[in-house]
Amino acid sequence: MLREKKAQIVSNLADDLSRTTIVIATDYRGLLAKQMAELRNALAKAGVGYHVVKNTLAYRAADQIGKPQLRDIIEGPVALAFGYDDVVNVAKALNQYIKSTTLPLEIKGGLLGDRILPPEEVLKLASLPPREVLIARLLGQLQAPVGSLHNLLSFPLRGLLNVLQSRAQAASK
């Protein structure tokens, strides 16, 4: 490769890496070109970029943007899935495609911020519920103490109300 071409690739890769919320490394060996194109299309529909990268160029790009820990998940032939929004969507899209097609695609790990994720944690991310469901659960958990406090404080008043109602019914008879 020409030096200018390599510099351009490193620059593009560094730009992608700097904008991502998560990067997942996969071993793509055993995939045919047609299968790779289908995988890229399926991931693109989910808003995920997927690129086969040369390790040395990926190392340079990672060092350029200050994420040298990316070296830990890049080993051997590697393709990187770039997620730009919700980190769960990337893991889900990749995992669903692997399960639905039974391709020999292997997840090697991920980089979430500055943290390296082993393959098991990437699969755990894929099993998380959607963001909206997690937010709804959090709101439910935040409302629970307030509801309990309300019930605790209103219980004596309800008891007094029941006593007064029964007295009023007894007096009217």
According to the model, what pLDDT value does residue 71 have? 86
Q: Mean pLDDT by 10-residue block, N- to C-terminus, for the chain (173 residues)?
A: 84 88 89 87 88 89 88 88 85 86 84 89 85 84 80 79 84 78
State how far the Cα of 29 lies from the Cα of 50, in Å rounded to an integer: 15
* H, E, C per residue of the chain: CCHHHHHHHHHHHHHHHHHCCEEEEEECCCCCHHHHHHHHHHHHHCCEEEEEECHHHHHHHHHHHCCHHHHHCCCCCEEEEEECCCHHHHHHHHHHHHHHHCCCCEEEEEEECCEEECHHHHHHHHCCCCHHHHHHHHHHHHHHHHHHHHHHHHHHHHHHHHHHHHHHHHHHC
CA torsion sign, 70 to 73 to 74 to 79? negative
Domain ranges of the chain: 3-128, 129-173
pTM, full prediction: 0.73
Q: Based on C-alpha coordinates, what's the Rg of the chain? A: 27
According to the model, what pLDDT value does residue 25 have? 92
Q: Hunting for tokens 């007295």 — which residue is that?
A: 167
Q: What are phi and psi of 30, to 5 degrees?
A: 100, -10
Both tokens of residue 115? 């943290």
Q: Which CATH architecture has domain 3-128?
A: 2-Layer Sandwich (3.30)
According to the model, what pLDDT value does residue 1 have? 56
